[in-house]
Amino acid sequence: MKILHTESSVGWGGQELRVVADALMAQNSGHTVKIVCDSNSKFFCRSQIDLKMLIRRAIGKKSVYCLISIFKVLNAEKPDIVISHSSTDSWLVAICTILSRNSFFWIRVRHVSAKIKPNTLTKWLYRKPDVVVTTSEQIRDHVIEIAGLPLHRVVSIPTGIDTSRFVPRDTLTEKPIQRRDCFVVVMVATLRSWKGHRYAIEAIADLPEVHLVIAGDGPQYSALKQMTIDYGVESRVEFAGHVEDVVSIYNSADCFLQPSTANEGVSQSVLQAMACELPVIVSDIGGLNEVVIDGVNGLLVNKEDSLAIKQALKTYMTSPETMLDYGRRARETAKQKYSIEIMRDKMATIYNLTAGRYDQN
């Protein structure tokens, strides 16, 4: 089959990585896959994907010009399946289903848990696709509630991770550099306000033995950098920027932290850290608390609570046995429930809904 992904986002994070993962999995299964992305997209410089799979067009706005751009792509490519990912490109695809003579099976992916506006147009948008795929059960429940869709048309498929790539440090041929004189905490996330970096910085202010590594870039960099100066922790907070080899980041740390306040599905970085047997601390919010069970395979903390983060860090720092136990259980969770193979098989089930309309490869 011919599969076309649409992605109007020009940022870079878990959502865009999910697009790449879906595309490569389908291609490896024998499908013909392309991604149409905006002219300013980072797919061209960060995705490490074959450029022949990418179609660069102006699709970043809800405008007539962008509508014409995506309409021309759909007519030229004649895909069997279209998978839209952001709000803007989903609106463009929705209008194209009305204007185009070429029919296709439409999958709308909802990645984030931000509230959906319960107005008539938004309900229409979510009712148009053949299937809505969400990245967590909480997002699935919200879509069903707002759009009034039948249960079978909304499916939760968290982004899977490659457990053969994300592995514990003791299995690596080249061992990561260890900081023996401090306790290393790592965050891997785009620098956005809802990722909770500020609460991590507040939490370590009174923990002089803690070194915080923040991997990722984004609009909050300047504010967070200034915050480290204000709290007197500038020497203990490392801004690593965008990192390609995140395995080395995880395996040079003692624990992983993600104190997000909102908008999360099942986080890829949390799963990656868990697959590396890294003990995790995450906020007790939807998506994250689907994966991490407090006191079993990690620790949950209240959102926007730097004191709770501080206490969780102390729990790990004073109990190496707990860290080891939670780390092992975390990897088992990742392997058994969130592998990339599980995601592949679940997406293949969705593709198979087109049986009878198109020939299967």
Mark whether 144 and 241 lie in a shared domain: no
Whether residue 153 is contained in a domain is answered as yes
244 shares a domain with 192: yes
Q: What is the mean pLDDT of residues 140-144?
A: 95
Over residues 151-170, mean pLDDT:
92
State residue 81's pLDDT score.
96
CATH number at residue 6: 3.40.50.2000
Residue 42 shares a structural domain with residue 119: yes
Kindly report the CA angle at 303 between 16 and 219, in degrees rounded to 5? 40
On whether residue 229 sits in a domain, the answer given is yes
Task: Please report whether residue 317 resides in a domain.
Answer: yes
Q: Do 154 and 257 fall into the same domain?
A: no
The CA angle 263-195-214, to the nearest 5 degrees, is: 150
Mean model confidence pLDDT for the chain: 92
Instruction: Say what the pLDDT of residue 185 is.
Output: 97
Residue 318 has pLDDT above 80, yes or no: yes
pLDDT at 45: 84
C-alpha 83/C-alpha 105 separation (Å) is 9
Q: Is residue 242 part of a domain?
A: yes
Enclosing domain of residue 228: 169-337
Q: Which two tokens stand for residue 10?
A: 């020009």
- Is 35 a residue whose pLDDT tops 70? yes
pLDDT at 197: 97
Q: Which two tokens stand for residue 69?
A: 């751009």
360 part of a folded domain: no
pLDDT recorded at residue 239? 97
Give the pLDDT score at 175.
Answer: 56
Residues 301 and 332 in one domain: yes
* Residue type (1 letter), 68: I
Kindly calculate the radius of gyration of the chain based on its CA atoms and give it in whole angstroms.
21
Q: Which residues contact 280 (CB under 8 A, 6 or more apart)?
A: 255, 256, 257, 258, 270, 273, 274, 292, 297, 298, 299, 326, 330
Q: Identify whether residues 263 and 232 lie together within a single domain.
A: yes
Q: What is the number of structural domains in the chain?
A: 2
Percent over 90 (pLDDT), the chain: 81
Could you tell me if 28 and 97 lie in one domain? yes
- Whole-prediction pTM: 0.87
Q: Is residue 271 part of a domain?
A: yes
Tell me how far apart the alpha carbons of residues 333 and 325 are, in angstroms, rounded to a whole number. Answer: 13
Do 133 and 234 fall into the same domain? no
Q: Is residue 361 part of a domain?
A: no
Q: Are residues 26 and 156 in the same domain?
A: yes
Residue 180: pLDDT band with limits 50, 70, 90: low
Same domain, 291 and 233: yes
CA distances from 272 to 75, 120, 334 (A): 38, 38, 8
Q: Which residues, in sequence order, are bridge partners of residue 300?
A: 282
In a domain, 75, yes or no: yes
Same domain? For 126 and 204 the reply is no
* Per-residue pLDDT tens digits for 107-129: 999 998 888 988 999 999 999 99
Q: What secondary structure does DSSP assign to 101-131, as a single string?
A: SS--EEEEEE---PPPP-SHHHHHHHHSSSE
Check whether residue 57 and residue 153 sit in a common domain.
yes
